[in-house]
Chain A
Amino acid sequence: MSSALQTILHLLWTFSQLSVLGFGGGKGIIPQMHSDAVTRYGWITSEQFTQFYTIGKLVPGPTTIFAALVGYAATPTRPLVGAAAATIGIFVPSSMIMVAFDSLWVRFETSPWRAIISRGLGPAIVGLVWSSVITIGRGAPKSLIAYVVTAAVIVLMLRVKVSAPALILASGVVGVVALR
């Protein structure tokens, strides 16, 4: 088996697992995705992981679309095939579950279980988001100016409610000037 084909199968399998475990809108899968893509398979570096995640936040649509960039980088000889494999992996399995469960859930329309499951998973998902902070922080620049940018974004997001893409673009402008 050629190594490109092997990588494509690994991409499909890795991202399919993440897809099925992507509760909470996929917010919790970042640490596992990092340990698969960076530590286990070495497809990309920590810095690239953080930058791809950033691009995912910058473009319209779900953030997890940055899986396509991981696939792109993982298969230098067939980048488009790698990108497609990762995207199919991350989107298709969860979509099949959604379609299959839809007819089932309707029958339990008044069931309290829906609220119990989503509220019960809450703390674990939030804990995973805090771990994502550490994961993303590992590939973020380490300098005083970068820390100031991060702190400013936190305040602007929570206090002034500036939109996410606007904040990332503004951070990029600061970076061009001060983080070269």
Chain B
Amino acid sequence: MGQCRMSAEPVRPSLPSIALTFATISSTAFGGGQKASIRQQVLSRNWMDADRFMDGLEIAQVLPGPNILNLALYCGQRVRGIPGAVAAFLGASLPPFIIVLIAGALYFKFASNPFVQGALRGCSAGALGLTVGNALELSWDERRDWIKILLLVVTALAVSLLRMPLLLVLVMFGGIGIVYEYLRSKSRTT
């Protein structure tokens, strides 16, 4: 089936099958693995071609909201319009909601147990490490441009020391970044 993908017409999946596809992915896959799972499912079921999918991935990453949820919405909307987007939303958000509620119920029941407290402290220390690792990785991507490094340092200081609200941070430092990127793209083309 994979071989004749180029010539085949895109299929029009049923709404339950859209919801079920994203429910399966959202309840089993973690982090970056989810994007790969969505890609694999969408392409192997011939819902759209790879170019269309990559367009969606790009939009999903630019707009606010979790990338995986946005990507699911895009795929649902592409194949079945707004109802497809609603089906994808339910599939992508309900299983994590239920799973986190179960985790939360256990948390509030057992958080005072010393063993559970120890585990939670250990997990917190681990999650802090992941966040630092993530910040290092993202900073490494910006390393070639000292203006961007400066911008990210100033942003971090403004938020952590001056408690600058998120909206202002995005308008000011996000705005400066976008203007800078625009000027750079202009100077490249001329």
Flag if B61 contacts A68 (CB, 8 Å).
Answer: no
Flag if B126 contacts A150 (CB, 8 Å).
Answer: yes
Known contacts A114-B59, A139-B124; decide if A56 and B100 are in contact (CB<8 Å): yes
Residue of B nearest to A102 (CB): B77
Q: Which of B77, B92, B97 has the most CB of A within 10 A?
A: B97
Flag if B31 contacts A164 (CB, 8 Å).
Answer: yes
- Cα of A112 to Cα of B60 in the assembled complex, Å: 16
Flag if B132 contacts A150 (CB, 8 Å).
Answer: yes
- Cα of A102 to Cα of B153 in the assembled complex, Å: 33
Flag if A23 contacts B174 (CB, 8 Å).
Answer: yes
Residues of A within 8 A of B166 (CB): 18, 21, 28-29, 31-32, 128
| A75 contacts chain B at the CB level, 8 A cutoff | no
Residue of A nearest to B178 (CB): A120
Known contacts A101-B63, A117-B62; decide if A123 and B152 are in contact (CB<8 Å): yes
Q: How many residues of A contact B (CB 8 A)?
A: 107
Flag if B130 contacts A120 (CB, 8 Å).
Answer: no
Stretch at the interface among B3-11, B13-21, B38-46, B65-73: B65-73
Contact of B160 among A106, A134, A154 (CB under 8 A): A134
Indicate with 1 or 0, residue by residue over B106-130, a CB within 8 angstroms of chain A CB atoms. Answer: 0110010011011111111111111
- Cα of A163 to Cα of B130 in the assembled complex, Å: 10
Residues of B within 8 A of A120 (CB): 174, 177-182
- Cα of A99 to Cα of B99 in the assembled complex, Å: 26
Known contacts A175-B123, A180-B118; decide if A62 and B97 are in contact (CB<8 Å): no
Indicate with 1 or 0, residue by residue over A167-180, a CB within 8 angstroms of chain B CB atoms. Answer: 11111111111111
Flag if A151 contacts B129 (CB, 8 Å).
Answer: yes
Flag if A172 contacts B126 (CB, 8 Å).
Answer: yes
Known contacts A98-B59, A150-B126; decide if A178 and B118 are in contact (CB<8 Å): yes
B59 CB to nearest A CB, Å: 5
A137 CB to nearest B CB, Å: 6
Flag if B136 contacts A118 (CB, 8 Å).
Answer: no
Residues of A within 8 A of B182 (CB): 116, 120
Residue of B nearest to A113 (CB): B182
Flag if A59 contacts B100 (CB, 8 Å).
Answer: yes
| B49 contacts chain A at the CB level, 8 A cutoff | no
Residue of A nearest to B89 (CB): A95
| A140 contacts chain B at the CB level, 8 A cutoff | yes
Contact of A60 among B27, B73, B89 (CB under 8 A): B27
Flag if B134 contacts A149 (CB, 8 Å).
Answer: no
Sample 17 A-B pairs with CB under 8 A, ordered by A number.
Answer: A17-B167, A18-B166, A54-B127, A57-B130, A61-B34, A61-B92, A97-B63, A106-B55, A114-B62, A116-B185, A124-B155, A126-B139, A136-B127, A149-B126, A154-B133, A172-B123, A178-B122
Which residues of chain B have a CB within 8 Å of any CB of chain A? 26-31, 34, 55, 58-70, 73-74, 77, 82, 85, 89, 92-93, 95-97, 99-101, 103-104, 107-108, 111, 114-115, 117-139, 141-142, 148-149, 151-156, 158-160, 163, 165-167, 169-170, 173-174, 177-182, 185
7 tightest Cβ-Cβ pairs between the two chains A and B: A175-B122, A127-B155, A171-B126, A61-B96, A153-B129, A94-B65, A120-B178
